[in-house]
Every structure is written in C-alpha cells, then in structure tokens.
Amino acid sequence: MLKKIEAIIREEKLADVKEALRCIGIKGMNVFEIRGQGRQGGIELSGRSGTYHVDMLPKLQVNIVLSEHNLRDTVDTIMKAARTGESGDGLIFVYPVDDVIRVRTGERGRNAVMYPGDIDEKKGGPNGP
C-alpha cells in the first residue's frame, strides 16, 4: 500500500527536515512554496502605521510518496525536525495513493518509489538486500 505525506512546514525548517529525511533514507520528494492559514487565521504584525493582519502566511509543502510500512518513521522524523513548539509549526496530511509509474522503466507501485540506499535498504526491511 502506498501513501502520500503532505507536510506543511516553516520555511526555515526545510534544511533540518531534508537532512533528517536523508538520514533515515527518504530520497524522493517534492517541495512547493505555498501560502496558507491555520486555526489562528494568520498573524498580527506591527508596522509604522500600527498593527495589521496577515491572513495567508508563506509555508513550504513537502510531498513524499512512500510505502505504508515507512509512514510512521517518516512522520515521526518530520515532526521532530519541523517542531519549534510555537503555533505555526504546520500540519502533516496523509493520503492513500492508487499507483506510481516510473516512466523510464514502467515499474509500478512501491517498486517505482524504491531507490538504492533508501529507507528499506537501511532498515534491511522487506525490500532490503
């Protein structure tokens, strides 16, 4: 079973998140620049002419498609690396994925999101050496 993680994180946490993911063997990902708001509905900022409200704040969205058996470790890793403890640390959404097809080879499903030296080889898990 394949899953997709869509992690909304602080811009300044990208380097830490990428490094933590690299350490556990997560390789394939997308990063999008987005704007959004959570339950505080943005933030109040103070400028020369008083305070004003910024409703949509810049964030980064990190998308990763992976095997379900790697979901928990990956979510835990993102949480540890992305967390400051302050509001605005982000959210992690998880979705089911129907299929993945590697264009060059026609590999499908989890074979299409496996890489040499990835999380499964590191764990010696079901896809390990």
Full DSSP string of 54-81: E-SEEEEEEEEEEEGGGHHHHHHHHHHH
**Contact (Cβ atoms closer than 8 angstroms) between residue 91 and residue 83:** no
Looking at beta carbons only, is 11 or 76 nearer to ligand ATP? Answer: 11
Does 88 engage in binding with ligand ATP (CB under 6 A)?
A: yes
Cα torsion 7, 40, 16, 115 to 10°: value is: 0
Provide the minimum distance between the beta carbon of 115 and ligand ATP in the complex, in angstroms, as a whole number.
28
Provide the minimum distance between the beta carbon of 67 and ligand ATP in the complex, in angstroms, as a whole number.
24
- For residue 8, the partner it binds in ligand ATP, Mg ion, none, with Cβ less than 5 to 8 A by kind, is ligand ATP
Considering only the stretches 12-20, 44-52, 86-94, 102-110, report the one whose residues sit in contact with ligand ATP under the rule CB under 6 A. 86-94
3-state secondary structure of 21: helix
Site for ligand ATP in 33-72 (CB under 6 A): 34, 36-40, 57, 59
3-state secondary structure of 48: coil
Does 89 engage in binding with ligand ATP (CB under 6 A)?
A: yes
Provide the minimum distance between the beta carbon of 124 and Mg ion in the complex, in angstroms, as a whole number.
39
Binding footprint of ligand ATP, residue count (CB under 6 A): 14
Integer Cα distance of 3 and 100 in angstroms: 11
Contacts with 77 (C-beta within 8 Å, 6 or more apart), sequence order: 20, 21, 23, 24, 26
Interacting residue ranges for ligand ATP, rule: CB under 6 A: 8, 34, 36-40, 57, 59, 87-91
